[in-house]
Structure 1
Amino acid sequence: MSKFGRSIRIFLADGSPTGLRHVEIANWSGQALACPRSRFSELGKWEESKRPGVYFLFENSAGDNNVAYIGESEDVFKRLADHDRKKEFWNEVIIFTSKDENLTKGHIKYLEARLVEISKSADRYELENSNTPTKSSLPRADAAAMEEFVDNIRIVLGSLSHRILESVSSVVTQAIVEPKEDSLINYEFSFKVNKVTAQGRVTDDGFLLLQGSQIAHKSSPSMPGKNLLIKEQMISDGLLEDKGTFYLLVKDKLMSSSSYAAALVAGNSRSGPQSWKTPEGEYLKVIEERLVSKT
């Protein structure tokens, strides 16, 4: 994770934030094109899309399940045209190519393999890739350059609201090792209710329910419907292990808010800020109010 500021330039081709966008990072030879599927034909007018590179197909939906596909090609637009005919799930594409002619087949195969590897480890998106690509062997200097390319891809994707390469757990680990001044990220919280105990942390993109947390076995009618669907999906995916009187969370789970996390734990509607508290007994709500009062 970069410890210094970065400058990103996003050009809106037609002035619309949801249309075709060209993205650059200062002093980087790479570039990105982001385009909704409905505007896919416009990509063909951009020579940047017809170079060797890697690409991400995303399904943007209102649900909690994020789906993506990662690929590579020596002519990205040509490959995408094939996907436009044969792959149904996606509605946005983001491609990465180089401003110069230095990306070879070996480079893009290396990038594809690393991006699939990192995204699977981050476990934020369900990948549609049926096979795990083989990483090409590169000279040490080239491999180092491609790792820098990967890091810039991560930054661009994050700026476009796709954190597919960012592990939630690593963000929490960094917060512990390098705490930020006056930030909710610095605190660890717990919640005890109905004989179950859970632990969690605030992150930049939600509330992380930590592995080992206990979840109420029963869900009352007051539990938000979205939470019930999430709970059922977690049981189906094996994230919740049935212990008879409660469920045990076997893997960190990112929730959209502290209230949704508290409701999942308790099995009924709850206010997160008034449920989660530090080991010292200070509630999340109190910390939020104190930090706001300092600004």
Structure 2
Amino acid sequence: MAFGRKVTIYLADGAPSGIRHVEIANWSGQAIACPRSRLNELKDWSEAQRPGVYFLLEKQTAETGDRAYIGESENVVKRLSQQDKNQDFWNEVIIFTSKDENLTKGHIKYLESRLTAISIEADRYKIENGNTPTESLLPRADKDSMEEYIHNLRIIMGTLGHRVLEPIKVVESLQNEVPSKPKLSRFIFNFSIRDLNATGQQTDDGFVLFKGSDISGKTSKSMPGKTLSIREKWIADGTLVPNGENFKLTKDSILSSSSYAAVLVAGTSRSGPQSWIDENGRSLKAVEEILLAET
């Protein structure tokens, strides 16, 4: 059953963009987020001079994409001084260590391997690791402890604005759903126009256009400039591949609104809330209104 979590963020100098120390109530793990420009200040943080894993992150835009590198070290700050010379793309680091001495070399190697694999599968960021590190062998109890650590790590990464570990498509278990409070993300919507068929889902961070959806090969002057630039980028990077006179989407892809998704599919200006229809024939707008009325 889903339940709330208390996350505490300490702003070391009162600035939301400075060094932040993050904790979850009743968890022995901890995180430190630091902009690259303040890296030298981490030498004063004992929390960062422990065994742990870290994310080097470059946050860009929906059009250009984001990048990340995942690493581990028995002394994260010392390792980061080397990464500062070897990796030049990142502008923020997030470090995960433990408040106690229970994270061993085997644990952090396991975490590095699992986090790299999860990030690659989520396919939100371009992962700069050359390959997925080998997963260390741990006793079953230790593996379960590390999986719990990853669960909490996901929460903190998302809280800090990096959903590198989160799959784009929402797949929720029914047992995590409160029957009287259905979520919009549980609804799957379809849009058909001419010979084009697409499927999608409204999630917390945008509208997901599902892999296999059709995208019009033709465009009109009524298309917003942003959708044209997204379309061109997707063609260039292989997210869209030719399919007869049209295109086919090769992976689940997120857009900031349902209207952008509908415009890309149709090739003309469209209203997303009116265009996307669920299995019961209701528009996205109608479903939103029903859910709002039930609150």
Kindly state the Cα deviation for residue 195 of structure 1 after the two structures are TM-superposed: 2.8
Kindly state the Cα deviation for residue 63 of structure 1 after the two structures are TM-superposed: 4.0
- Helix, strand or coil: the match of 2:285? helix
Question: For residue 5 of structure 2, what is the aligned residue in structure 1?
Answer: 6
Q: Distance in 2 between matches of 1:141 and 1:280?
A: 46
Unmatched tracts of structure 2, length 5 or more:
none
Q: Percent identical across equivalent pairs?
A: 57
Asked if residue 174 in structure 1 is aligned to residue 169 in structure 2, the reply is: no
Asked if residue 54 in structure 1 is aligned to residue 34 in structure 2, the reply is: no
Question: For residue 151 of structure 1, what is the aligned residue in structure 2?
Answer: 151
- Helix, strand or coil: the match of 1:268? coil
Question: For residue 77 of structure 2, what is the aligned residue in structure 1?
Answer: 77
Q: Distance in 2 between matches of 1:248 and 1:201?
A: 17
TM-score for the superposition, normalised by structure 1: 0.92
Q: Distance in 2 between matches of 1:32 and 1:122?
A: 21
Asked if residue 23 in structure 1 is aligned to residue 45 in structure 2, the reply is: no
Superposed CA offset, 1:161-197 (max 9, x none) = 111111123x2x2167755524322322111224312
Quick one: which amino acid aligns to residue 88 of structure 1?
A: D
Preserved contact between residue 52 and residue 95 of structure 2 (Cα < 8 Å): yes
User: Cα gap change, 1:201/1:175 in structure 2, threshold over 3 Å: closer, same or farther?
Assistant: farther
Question: For residue 263 of structure 1, what is the aligned residue in structure 2?
Answer: 263
Superposed CA offset, 1:126-165 (max 9, x none) = 0011132111111222111111111111111011111111
Q: Distance in 1 between matches of 2:278 and 2:176?
A: 19
Preserved contact between residue 201 and residue 207 of structure 1 (Cα < 8 Å): yes
Question: For residue 67 of structure 2, what is the aligned residue in structure 1?
Answer: 67
Superposed CA offset, 1:69-91 (max 9, x none) = 00001110111112222321111
Question: For residue 97 of structure 2, what is the aligned residue in structure 1?
Answer: 97
Quick one: which amino acid aligns to residue 8 of structure 1?
A: V
Preserved contact between residue 258 and residue 273 of structure 1 (Cα < 8 Å): yes
- Helix, strand or coil: the match of 2:219? coil
Quick one: which amino acid aligns to residue 98 of structure 2?
A: S
Preserved contact between residue 37 and residue 93 of structure 1 (Cα < 8 Å): yes
Preserved contact between residue 19 and residue 38 of structure 2 (Cα < 8 Å): yes
Question: For residue 165 of structure 1, what is the aligned residue in structure 2?
Answer: 165
Quick one: which amino acid aligns to residue 273 of structure 1?
A: P
Question: For residue 140 of structure 2, what is the aligned residue in structure 1?
Answer: 140
Quick one: which amino acid aligns to residue 287 of structure 1?
A: V
- Helix, strand or coil: the match of 2:274? coil
Kindly state the Cα deviation for residue 241 of structure 1 after the two structures are TM-superposed: 2.8
Kindly state the Cα deviation for residue 220 of structure 1 after the two structures are TM-superposed: 2.0
Q: Distance in 1 between matches of 2:229 and 2:175?
A: 35
Q: Distance in 2 between matches of 1:27 and 1:255?
A: 36
Q: Distance in 2 between matches of 1:139 and 1:87?
A: 34
- Helix, strand or coil: the match of 1:43? helix
- Helix, strand or coil: the match of 1:40? helix
Asked if residue 240 in structure 1 is aligned to residue 248 in structure 2, the reply is: no
Quick one: which amino acid aligns to residue 229 of structure 1?
A: S
Preserved contact between residue 175 and residue 185 of structure 1 (Cα < 8 Å): no
Question: For residue 106 of structure 2, what is the aligned residue in structure 1?
Answer: 106
TM-score for the superposition, normalised by structure 2: 0.92
Quick one: which amino acid aligns to residue 41 of structure 1?
A: N
Unmatched tracts of structure 1, length 5 or more:
none
Q: Distance in 2 between matches of 1:164 and 1:123?
A: 8
Quick one: which amino acid aligns to residue 208 of structure 2?
A: L
